[in-house]
Structure 1
């Protein structure tokens, strides 16, 4: 799938379309409570969108933390799943963070999505926990001091 991956400012037209996609995926499809979907981090996050034929079909956000970059709110429109959109967005987001000097990445993945993130170089750690009513695991990439970063 040939998608254009863009960084968009919070509450821009494209970012608002991304928020709409997140509501569709997380709230409507996966029954995450609306109150848990949007949070204050949306104001400071770096938002990425995947655009195909003028439509936002994927989104994610990056949060800069002292210890790592947190990747979150990864969502792809139902009709575009399985076409490499999420992979392309994650690669673009990680590359962007690397240009800013970051090489440690963290995310929490729905447990049924672990193998997808493992193929991108993430390793699960810690116990399974509930988030938004679904089982999740924490995942991270390794820093240069302990292992090579794979992506």
Structure 2
């Protein structure tokens, strides 16, 4: 497989708008997340990343800088391109970008059935399971791992 080209894109640029369309495809159409929950004000200030393969945006995520960590969110890969390492490469590129800007603490909320994927990337789950977009999720982080405790 050809490696995807991955890079940050400005909000509301043509490529970022393609990323928003991909998020709608994955989260709203496939996973039935209410559209009003999928889009939020963080999109205006987040750093958006895209993965491009075969001339199209096939993956996306966003980074939100918060005081205590950088939140990775809205990780989405077009269905036909899943299982090819696109999400893993997107996350690695986004984290490398943040590291280059002095950030070294990362947080995310993962759909509960995706925990193993993020664990392989160095994240640990903590806290209680909660519902987001109608699906069970867990908070995860890649720092303070020794203090991470699941609550059921």
The TM-score bracket by the shorter chain reads: over 0.9
In structure 2, what is the equivalent of residue 81 of structure 1?
Answer: 82
TM-score by length of 1: 0.94
Structure 1 residues 55-95: Cα deviation after superposition (integer angstroms, max 9, x where no partner): 00000000000000000000000000010000000000000
Give, in angstroms, the shift of residue 11 of structure 1: 0.4
Kindly tell me the number of residue pairs found equivalent between the two proteins. Answer: 146
- The alignment yields a C-alpha RMSD, in angstroms, of 1.4
In structure 2, what is the equivalent of residue 3 of structure 1?
Answer: 4
Q: Distance in 2 between matches of 1:135 and 1:53?
A: 33
Whether the aligned pair in 2 keeps the contact of 1:10 and 1:47 (CA below 8 Å) is: yes
Structure 2 residue runs of 5 or longer lacking an equivalent are: 148-152
Whether the aligned pair in 2 keeps the contact of 1:104 and 1:143 (CA below 8 Å) is: no
User: What secondary structure sits across from 1:83 in the alignment?
Assistant: coil
Q: Distance in 1 between matches of 2:5 and 2:64?
A: 21
In structure 1, what is the equivalent of residue 37 of structure 2?
Answer: 36
Q: Distance in 1 between matches of 2:7 and 2:103?
A: 19
In structure 1, what is the equivalent of residue 111 of structure 2?
Answer: 110
Runs of 4+ deviating beyond 6 Å: none
Q: Distance in 2 between matches of 1:142 and 1:38?
A: 28
TM-score by length of 2: 0.93
